[in-house]
Chains A and B, each alone.
Chain A
Amino acid sequence: DGGITQSPKYLFRKEGQNVTLSCEQNLNHDAMYWYRQDPGQGLRLIYYSQIVNDFQKGDIAEGYSVSREKKESFPLTVTSAQKNPTAFYLCASRARDRGGYGYTFGSGTRLTVV
């Protein structure tokens, strides 16, 4: 079945470390997104990519970086510059027609700073 796979499900990071969250999709979707969710809150957009080798900052990009070398993959790196990285991270993708389709979400990665 097609879908989005996020890994790992749980991730622990020490202060000052960079960590990379994986997001892979086999839906042949062009656009991919990273969102952050804090407890009791909605989702906030970190980065998005509409095509391979191109990506744009969302509302809260500081302290994060991404790459889009392949259509299927959109990894997110949480750098040491992100001061409050503990959160639930969700990856999503959509087909080309932004006006007609909902997004498909992965099951998320819960990142905790220890």
Chain B
Amino acid sequence: SQQGEEDPQALSIQEGENATMNCSYKTSINNLQWYRQNSGRGLVHLILIRSNEREKHSGRLRVTLDTSKKSSSLLITASRAADTASYFCAALYSGGGADGLTFGKGTHLIIQP
């Protein structure tokens, strides 16, 4: 399986603090994406970073990509209670073979008011 891993599996912080989640993947990627899932709902696309990019920002989100270490991190700054959700990284692998994103198992983030 090419499934990646997120770290940590669960994270609980106080409102206003920053939250950092990490993701590792297996082989060369086309891009890496981060998604958010509220309990029992579908996934919402947050941000995409291409393999030739190292950092990307979107509002309070900052994503980095280190292709030499096959890892990515998602930073949420100034967290809010509404950020409580599960966050998944998903790799789009390069080359031929099956299409479709390969998801990690997710980080469950709890923001305490």
Residues of A within 8 A of B (CB): 4, 6, 31, 33, 35, 40-45, 48, 50, 56-59, 88, 90, 92, 98-108, 110
Asked if B22 is at the interface (CB within 8 A of a chain A CB), the reply is no
State the CA gap A101–B101 with chains docked (Å).
Answer: 12
Residues in A with CB closer than 8 Å to B33 are 102-103
Interface residues of B in 1-57 (CB under 8 A from A): 1, 3, 30-31, 33, 35, 40-46, 48, 50
**CB nearest to A106 among chain B residues:** B42
Task: Report the number of A-B residue pairs with Cβ-Cβ less than 8 Å.
Answer: 73
Please tell me if the beta carbons of B92 and A98 are within 8 angstroms of each other in the complex: yes
Contact of A102 among B3, B45, B99, B103 (CB under 8 A): B45
Please tell me if the beta carbons of A58 and B42 are within 8 angstroms of each other in the complex: no
State the CA gap A31–B104 with chains docked (Å).
Answer: 21
**CB nearest to B9 among chain A residues:** A40
Contact of B42 among A48, A50, A101, A108 (CB under 8 A): A108
Main secondary structure of the interface of A (DSSP, over half): strand
Residues in A with CB closer than 8 Å to B106 are 41-42
Please tell me if the beta carbons of A42 and B100 are within 8 angstroms of each other in the complex: no
Nearest-neighbour CB distance to chain B for A30, whole angstroms, equals 11
Nearest-neighbour CB distance to chain A for B58, whole angstroms, equals 11
Residues in A with CB closer than 8 Å to B105 are 40-42
**CB nearest to A108 among chain B residues:** B42
State the CA gap A107–B68 with chains docked (Å).
Answer: 35
Please tell me if the beta carbons of A100 and B48 are within 8 angstroms of each other in the complex: yes
State the CA gap A33–B102 with chains docked (Å).
Answer: 12
